[in-house]
Each structure stands twice: as structure tokens, then as C-alpha cells.
Amino acid sequence: MTKLIAWAKANPIIVVSVLVALISLAVCGYTWYAGRQLSADIADRAARISDIRRLLSVPVHVPPPNPDDPPRSVNICINEAAVQRLRNTYAKMNEELTQITQLMVQRNERGKTIMQPGLFPNVPQGATRTNIKYTYRAQLQALMGRAPADQPSLGLDAGLPPSTETLTRILESRRREMTRGTTANVIDQTSIVRTLRESLIAELTSRAKALHIYGQTSLDAPDFPLDVGAWSDPQRGQPATPQEIWSGQMSLWIQQDLVDAIARTNHVDDPDANIFTVPVKRLLRIWIVPGYVGINGQSGLTVSPPGMKSSGGSSPGYAAPEPAPTAPPSGGAPAASFTTLSSASSALGPKGEVVSDFQFSPTGRVSNALYDVKHVWVSAVVDVRQLPAFFDNLSRVNFMTVLLLQMHPVDEYDALQQGFIYGTSDEVQVDMLIETIWFRQWTAPLMPPEVRTVLGIAPATPPPGTSAGPVQ
């Protein structure tokens, strides 16, 4: 040790250099270690900052202000308060949706009663099926007459001009009065003709002022304007099937809604309203397209009733998606229209949303698990200036939308020869295709099992201890 100390004293520069080198190595080692720790701290801090920024700007989908727009994507800070706020928002939306749905179902069902108590869903056998034909026909015919005072919208107060025989008898009586006590030499034939013409117009005017709409009121007449199911013909030998009776019930509900809309438009509860003042002057025909749109029936855009001016071809841009049964001349849905099975679930998307199919109509609405779609043609003579009032009442009465409107001129002189006098307004014949919506929430429990099978609805499971009562 003494020699080492002596050597260090003799070589101070070397000793200092060694010490400096050792200190430098220690400092470098510490710096390297501290640098690595600092880098790790910086990386960890950067990761935390990134997490904070990510949590501050997480994209979420929120409902748009306009319900028809797609959901909006916004960035929010994910925290318990935000999560709870979103949860409350969606809970409120679901509650509102439930309330809106119930209101829509209640409006759709409003005023609807079945033809005979206890008829659905299990249609009884035997004489009941025969009796229901007469009930169905009587309720249809009542729609053309004068409604009871407490339900003015359930009747059109319709009628026809005086018959040719009636007019001939009246004019002949008038002629005899004018020529009584005169000789052939002094009879002014021109005056007689003028007077008879005035008498004719007076008779037609008097009749027009006594009616709210022109229309045949006899159900057995070939020009009865309502759609009467062929299954209800009393001369038909075979009993009606549950499918046919249900089709008749649906057609009755649809036509009750249409009559309600026309009655509101024509103010049938106003005794001062008449043919000269009302918007809908004459009801020519109602024809319900057989089947359910998108399941076992065609779109009304591809088929219309024989004899209607708009019949005989498809509307531009629309082709028949599938063949459908031909309707009988008297209208109504034949049993063959219930032979095509197609589940309505195909009209729902992967999340249960209703999928539009625009090959059937401009609205894209087809039958699905939420509602069924039926198309109906209506042909009438109307005052073209007041036609919007009828459109408004269609939407007020129920979920009815005009898909197609075709207008044709009316020859007033030809109409006058048939006894129809409309006044001074501008009349046109309109052929309208109307879409009607029927929510299954209230219709499905009434459907016979055979109809539920066709529509792809699961069989009904009534509560224990309950059963469909017999028809009274």
C-alpha cells in the first residue's frame, strides 16, 4: 500500500486521469439508465394522453333532429354521466315510440267491429257461415244509404236520377195538361217542347238536390259501386271458407273507411249539401286488389278492375312482381288468392326495421311483420277544384295514401241524357289507386288460423281457460 501511495504521489496526472475516467463511466451509466427511464415515462405519458384524447372524442351514433334522416355521429367524452344520459335518451325514445305505436294502432282500429260477434278467429261451422253472407251484404248495402243520426259518416245518402219510365210518365202528364181543351190547330209545339224541357231539368235538379252523391243503392244491381265478394252470393252452393270470410271482413273495413272519407268530404250530415255543392258527385266503383301486397297479391299499379278506364295495363315503371289470381267479375278475393305462401319477415331488415320495396309502389310499403298493405281502386266523378278535400279526408280517416291518380273528361251532355246533372262545376272522372295500412297488433288476433299461415304469422296461443265464443 505504501508503494502504491508513493507511486500515486509520483504520478498525480495518471491518478487524476484514472479517477476522471471512472467517474465518467459512472456518469454515463447513470445517464443511460436515467434516459431509458425517462423514455419509458414519456411513452407512458403519451399513451395516457392518447387515452384521454380518445375518451374525450369517442364517436357515437345519436338520433337526428329530423326522424327521416340517418343517425348522426358525434364525439363525446365517455364517462358514467354521458353513458347514463345516452341511456336515458334512448329509454325516452323507446317510450315515445311505444306511445306513438299505440296511438297509430288505436287510430287504425278505431270504429272497426267484426260483422258478427264471436265470428273470429275460429269461424264456426254450419248455418253461421250461410248467415254471415246476408250480414255482410246488408252491411255493404247500408253504406250507400242514409246513415243514422249518431253515425253520419257510415252512409253516403246516395241515389240515382229518376228512371226513364218515371220521367216519361211525368212529361206525358205535363203534356196532357198543356194540351187539354185545345185543338191541334192552335197547339204551339215549340212552346210545349220548351216547357217539357224545363220540366225535365226541374225534375232532375230536384232529385240532385235531394241527394249527397249519385250511386246505385241496390246491391244486386250490376252497377252497384261497392266491391261485393263473390263468396257472399246466396246462390252459391258451397259454404264460404274462413279465408273468404276474413277477406270479406277486410274489404268491409276498407270500404267503411272510404265511405267515411267520402261522407266527410260531402258533408252528409249537412241537409243543405247536395249534388251541386259536394266535391264527390258520383261513386262509380270501388275494387279491392286481391291478396296482400308483397305476400300473395299484386300491386294495384299492375292490375285494375275490368271496365275501369284506367284498366288494361301496368303503370309506367312498374311490372307485376309475381302472378296473382284473376278477380271474379263481381270483385272480392277468391280462395285461390290464399295459395301463395310467403313470410312477411322478408320485409324486415337484420335489425327488425321495415325494408322498402319500390317495385310495388312509390311508397315502397309492402306487408311485413308490423302491418299488412292492401291496395284499392276507386273511380268517381268529382269536382276537380275540390278534389284536395277528399285527399285530406282520406288521411284523416285512416292510413290511406293515393298512389296513382288518373283523370278523364266527363261529357256532361251524355251524362244529362242519362239523368245525371252536376251543376256548374268542372267535373272529371278520377281513377285512384289507394294504399291502405292494417297493423297486425290488432288484426292478427282476429285472423283465422288459415290466414295466419298464409301471412307467416305464428299460430295464436290463447290464454289458458279461454276460447272463442259461439256466434250469437
Q: What is the pLDDT of residues 86-121, one digit of tens each?
A: 788 778 888 888 899 999 999 999 999 999 888 999
Give the Cα separation of 231 and 240 in Å (integer): 6
363 pLDDT more than 80: yes
Higher pLDDT, 346 or 52: 52
- 331: pLDDT confidence band, cut at 50, 70 and 90? very low
pLDDT at 171: 67
Q: For the chain, how many structural domains are there in total?
A: 1
Is there a domain that residue 337 lies in? yes
Closest CA to 425 of 215, 265, 277: 277
Query: What pLDDT digit, counting tens, does each position of 215-262 carry?
Result: 999 999 999 999 999 999 988 878 889 999 999 999 999 999 999 999
Which residue segment(s) compose the domain that 215 sits in? 110-157+211-313+327-454
**Which residues are 287's β-sheet partners?**
377
Is there a domain that residue 333 lies in? yes
In percent, the amount of the chain with pLDDT more than 70 equals: 74
Dihedral (C-alpha) 59, 63, 65, 70: value to the nearest 10 degrees?
80
Is there a domain that residue 166 lies in? no
Higher pLDDT, 471 or 157: 157
45 pLDDT more than 50: yes
Question: Which of 2-16, 264-278, 286-300 shows the lowest mean pLDDT across its residues?
Answer: 2-16
342 pLDDT more than 50: no
pLDDT at 325: 38
Query: What pLDDT digit, counting tens, does each position of 273-324 carry?
Result: 999 999 999 999 999 999 999 888 778 888 877 767 654 444 544 444 444 3
Higher pLDDT, 427 or 352: 427
Question: Which of 48-62, 122-136, 273-287 shows the lowest mean pLDDT across its residues?
Answer: 48-62
Residue holding cell 288460423? 449
Is there a domain that residue 384 lies in? yes
Is there a domain that residue 368 lies in? yes
Is there a domain that residue 23 lies in? no
Is there a domain that residue 57 lies in? no
Mean pLDDT of 435-462: 91
Range picked from 46-60, 190-204, 242-256 for highest mean pLDDT: 242-256
pLDDT at 335: 35
Is there a domain that residue 399 lies in? yes
pLDDT at 469: 37
| DSSP code per residue over 25-71 | HHHHHHHHHHHHHHHHHHHHHHHHHHHHHHHHTEEEEE--SSTTSPP
